[in-house]
Amino acid sequence: MSHFTLYTYVLSASCYKVRLMAALLGVPYDSVAVNFYPGFEHRSEAMLALNPWGTLPILRAGDLVLTETQAMLGWLATNHDPTGRWYPAADPALGPQVLQWLGLAARLTGSAGLARLHAILDWPVDGEAVRKAALKDLQELELLLTDRVLAGQTWLVGDHPTIADIACFPHAALSPDAGLEHDGFPAIRNWLYAVRSLPGFVTMPGIHELHELREREPADPQ
Ligand SMILES: N[C@@H](CCC(=O)N[C@@H](CS)C(=O)NCC(=O)O)C(=O)O
């Protein structure tokens, strides 16, 4: 299996999550740009026929349609990473740890993701409530990452980046868009740098390349 179609919007952190995973794995795909804003095309009849929940991104591979980004990352790694290191699902210790982090990734989408949409697109949600929830989720990420650092580790699970890192990265990286700066989160800052220095890393508006890291010994994700 080598090809899929991604329905995507350039300013969406959730869509970027899947684009980033595909880039890191070197998986080619077709892109369909959806006018999420100001067109609200994701709620058009044609798009709702594909995804009745009216969200982006949508991944289509033959008859398979996925609407949850965490599932998309799992699908990509399962089908396109012969090493199994990006998603060590069968490992009795690492597999459940990855799933644990995917829970936080989903919560970050509903907190930091919505807080950002509210800040940049005036999304009709309670801005203060989602910002507060986002702060709590970022504090949790910081605490758990500090534990990892104290254990001498860079990545969220094991000693290799996994879909857990990619699932949590976009909404954490873009939280300053919602006024949630990284100054008080040193462990998050270092981890964001580590993800951004991965070979094959791609950017989106608001997340830049780390030119200063180009001279560094590249991490070997395989
Ligand atoms: N089910 C998705 C949700 C992703 C999500 O929240 N996407 C936003 C765009 S970044 C969206 O489509 N929102 C639809 C809307 O609020 O109308 C996931 O996998 O996390």
Number of compact structural domains in the chain: 2
Pocket flag, ligand 1, residue 67 (CB < 6 Å): yes
Q: Which residues form the domain of 107? A: 94-213
Q: What distance in Å separates the CA atoms of residue 11 and residue 14, rounded to the nearest whole number?
A: 9
Q: Find the 65 Cα to ligand 1 centroid distance in Å.
A: 15
Identify whether 221 is part of a domain.
no
Q: What distance in Å separates the CA atoms of residue 70 and residue 146, rounded to the nearest whole number?
A: 23
Instruction: Based on the fold, state whether residues 74 and 13 are members of the same structural domain.
Output: yes
The protein residue whose alpha carbon is closest to atom 14 in ligand 1 is 55
Task: Report the residue among 7, 8, 14, 122 best suited for mutation to probe ligand 1: largest number of ligand atoms under 8 A from its CB.
Answer: 14
Identify whether 100 is part of a domain.
yes
Instruction: Based on the fold, state whether residues 67 and 111 are members of the same structural domain.
Output: no
Phi-psi category of 154—alpha, beta or left, where left has phi over 0 and alpha has psi -120 to 50? Answer: alpha
Instruction: Based on the fold, state whether residues 175 and 146 are members of the same structural domain.
Output: yes
Cβ atoms of 138 and 180 closer than 8 Å: yes
Global model pTM greater than 0.75: yes
Pocket flag, ligand 1, residue 51 (CB < 6 Å): no
Identify whether 87 is part of a domain.
no
Identify whether 89 is part of a domain.
no
Report pLDDT for 143.
98
Q: Find the 14 Cα to ligand 1 centroid distance in Å.
A: 7
Q: Find the 111 Cα to ligand 1 centroid distance in Å.
A: 12
Residue in the block written with tokens 């936080």: 104
Pocket flag, ligand 1, residue 72 (CB < 6 Å): no
Report pLDDT for 221.
65
Pocket flag, ligand 1, residue 55 (CB < 6 Å): yes
Report pLDDT for 99.
98
Q: What is the CATH number of the domain that holds 142?
A: 1.20.1050.10
Q: What distance in Å separates the CA atoms of residue 6 and residue 54, rounded to the nearest whole number?
A: 15
Burial class (CB in 10 A: 0-12, 13-18, 19+), 164: buried
Report pLDDT for 212.
54
Report pLDDT for 210.
79
Pocket flag, ligand 1, residue 54 (CB < 6 Å): yes
Strands 58-61 and 64-66: antiparallel
Pocket flag, ligand 1, residue 58 (CB < 6 Å): no
Please list the ranges in the chain whose pLDDT falls under 70.
1-2, 211-222
HEC string for 33-98: ECCCCCCCHHHCHHHHHHCCCCCCCEEEECCEEECCHHHHHHHHHHHHCCCCCCCCCCCCCHHHHH
Pocket flag, ligand 1, residue 69 (CB < 6 Å): yes
Q: Find the 198 Cα to ligand 1 centroid distance in Å.
A: 26
Buried b (16+ CB within 10 A) or exposed e, 186-201: ebbbebbebbbbbeeb
Report pLDDT for 2.
47
Task: Report the residue among 55, 118, 120, 125 best suited for mutation to probe ligand 1: largest number of ligand atoms under 8 A from its CB.
Answer: 55
